[in-house]
Chain A
Amino acid sequence: MHIFVQQIVNGLILGSIYGLIAIGYTMVYGIIGMINFAHGEIYMISAYLFAIFLALVRLFGVDSVPVALLVTLVATIVVTGLYGFTIERVAYRPLRGSTRLAPLISAIGMSLVLQNYVQLAQGANEQSVAAIFSGVFRFGTETDFTQITHVQALIIAVAIAAMGVLTYIINRTPLGRACRATQQDRTMANLLGIDTDRVISLVFVIGAGMAAVAGVLITLNFGSFNFFIGFVAGVKAFTAAVLGGIGSLPGAMLGGLVLGLSESLFAGYVMSDYKDVFAFGLLVAVLIFRPTGLLGRPAVEKI
């Protein structure tokens, strides 16, 4: 029994991470209709930034863990957000009005640039961060228990909180209204005085920020990363976004959880070697039978 619960816990954690990254994909797709291939690399960069800032902060003699964490978290989110902003300005905005494929190729190019940029600057080796939290919560008996580390609990809590805050912003604030308006009809939003360029930039920054949170959390959890984690996580997170219905914020989180849970259960009970195959298989199956995803709304084309 405890294996099952353990797998559920693992699944929730994986799912939260996927969900946080998926938010970036789904918001960008929702607002300008493009797949931001470079988003996975943003997540990867945030992991590096977090480790670097942490080391820097240690170097400056800050010993208190909460302070160090807070400072590095904020710094990571800010700088990652800036990366997101810059990438949009440099590689996507000039292509706003052009063909479908041009932004896609540009995004792929950007993804290459970011991967190799980090590889050149930091080397190709696996990096690691010393464990900060080591406590665990344990449930069950001495011999038959489920455990969830403090970090893992933190991941789930932070993911829920982030989702809550974002949903609140999107649904209740003027800024969120501007986002939704731009998503539905950009021309009209412009005519009504909304600075859609700024809104789009903001969406990229928010997406990058969420990815940064994911990057920090995953680094705290696993302690190691390399320049290639962006690709795998990126494709999976995009799978999650599509699964949930691309363009839908709750869909991103739901898709993330569904993907995380099924991947974890499959890995635990069937065969872990093929868990990635399973994840993609799930994506293909959902898209065949429910093309717009779990929470997506089918687009009606007027003939």
Chain B
Amino acid sequence: MPAEDAPILTARAVSMRFGGLKALTEVNFSMARGSITAVIGPNGAGKTTLFNCITGFYRPTSGALHLHPAGHPHDLTRLAIHKIARLGVARTYQNIRLFAQMSVLENLLVAQHATVNRRLWAGILRSPAFRRSEAAALEQAWFWLRFMGLEAAADQAAGTLPYGQQRRLEVARAMAARPLLLCLDEPAAGLNPQEAEALNDLILRLKAQFAVSILLIEHHMGVVMRISDHVVVLDHGEVIGSGTPAQVRQNPAVVKAYLGEDEPDARAPPPAGGN
């Protein structure tokens, strides 16, 4: 049984190369269990590459990535995507990847594929065990629909929902898989300030109610600064700073990476010294 403060995810010297391109170089970090950790950095810094390494879409060229669910750690660099998912890692995507032609509720049922009764004859003949399993999955699906306020759209095709609702559905789908680690890739992209606030509340609620560790990539500094316990800053594939939001905001290397030498980035953290 891991100690209460044992990390959920550890990265040691993770490097990723695509031919001559170094996307990640010697990335080290540790993510505390039950925390909200944000990975930030300018575009092209390697944030999504890191995500893809964690979730198994890429195999790092070198380094170690371990998930620590309970019991012994699992080496994520050696596992197939679906195996990593079954260990308890779920994610959302920069460009929404819902099952567009399936209904909202069906999206949530698919998320539970790994835990439902999948036996062929049990399903064809609708055995009692099968029916119980389906009922439980349905209940879980409805729970998440209610949690996200999407009950009215249960039968609607997922692709026809408004953008904000699609984002919420994607998060719901990830949570329906009962993950230990939830990876959110730019969840606030395209949201207006009101929606971003609602997203903050949502993420905090998820952390509080479901004991899930949340890793998020985000450009929206309002979200990052308000809800993160820990921030990791990447630039050109390297970690240039990490710590609490306040610490990172004042880190000169971080400021330079965002502000550069000339034009201030409109979404950069405020300059050291504060307003």
Binding site for B on A (CB under 8 A): 302-303
**Complexed CA–CA distance, A302 and B93 (Å):** 10
List, sorted by A's number, 5 A–B pairs whose CB atoms are closer than 8 Å: A302-B95, A303-B48, A303-B52, A303-B57, A303-B93
Chief secondary structure at chain A's binding surface: loop
List residues of B (63-95) whose CB comes within 8 Å of A's CBs: 93, 95
Q: In the complex, which residues of chain A have a beta carbon less than 8 angstroms from the beta carbon of B52?
A: 303
The distance in angstroms between the C-alpha atoms of A302 and B94, with both chains bound, is 10
From 34 to 69 in chain B, residues with beta carbon under 8 angstroms from any chain A beta carbon are 48, 52, 57
Interface of chain B, main secondary structure: loop
Q: Which residues of B contact A303 (CB under 8 A)?
A: 48, 52, 57, 93
**Chain B 126-152 interface mask (CB, 8 Å, partner A; 1/0):** 000000000000000000000000000
With the chains together, A303 CA to B93 CA distance in Å? 7
Name the residue on A nearest B58 (C-beta).
A303
Please give, as numbers and ranges, the residues of chain A lying within 8 Å of B48 by CB-CB distance.
303
Considering only CB atoms and an 8 Å cut-off, how many residues of chain B contact the other chain?
Answer: 5
Going nearest first, the 5 A-B pairs with the smallest beta carbon separation are A303-B57, A303-B52, A303-B93, A303-B48, A302-B95
Q: Shortest CB–CB separation between residue B98 and chain A, in angstroms? A: 15
Identify the closest chain B residue to A300 (Cβ).
B18
Closest chain A CB from B197 CB (angstroms): 28
| Bound Cα distance A303, B95 (Å) | 8
Of all chain A residues, which has the CB nearest B48? A303
Q: How far is the CA of A88 from the CA of B107 in the complex (A)?
A: 38
Give CA–CA (A303, B56) in the complex, Å.
11
A contact residues around B93 at 8 Å (CB): 303
**Chain A hits for B95, CB < 8 A:** 302
- Taking the nearest CB of chain B, how far is it from the CB of A300, in angstroms? 9
| B161 shortest CB reach to chain A, Å | 21
Q: How far is the CB of B119 from chain A (nearest CB, A)?
A: 31
- Min CB–CB distance A289 → chain B (angstroms): 20
Q: Which residue of B is nearest A301, CB measured?
A: B57
Closest A residue by C-beta to B91? A303
Q: Write out the residue numbers on chain A whose beta carbons fall within 8 Å of the beta carbon of B57.
A: 303
Q: In the bound complex, what is the Cα–Cα distance between A176 and B52 (angstroms)?
A: 38
Q: How far is the CB of A97 from chain B (nearest CB, A)?
A: 15
Instruction: State in angstroms the CA–CA spacing of A303 and B52 once bound together.
Output: 8
The distance from the CB of B19 to the nearest CB of chain A, in whole angstroms, is 11
Measured between beta carbons, the chain B residues less than 8 angstroms from A302 are 95
Docked pose: A303 CA to B96 CA in angstroms: 10
Give Cα distance in the complex from A259 to B225, angstroms.
61
Q: Give Cα distance in the complex from A302 to B52, angstroms.
A: 10
A161 to chain B, nearest CB (A): 38
A188 to B62, CA, bound (A): 38
- Shortest C-beta distance, A98 to chain B (Å), equals 14
The CA-CA distance from A302 to B97 in the complex, in Å, is 12
Q: Which residue of A lies closest to B52 (CB)?
A: A303
* Closest-CB distance, A77 to chain B (whole angstroms): 44
For the complex, give the distance between the alpha carbons of A302 and B57 in Å: 10
The smallest C-beta distance from A204 to any residue of chain B, in angstroms, reads 31
A9 to B239, CA, bound (A): 62
Whole-angstrom distance from the CB of B163 to the nearest CB of chain A? 19
The smallest C-beta distance from A50 to any residue of chain B, in angstroms, reads 47
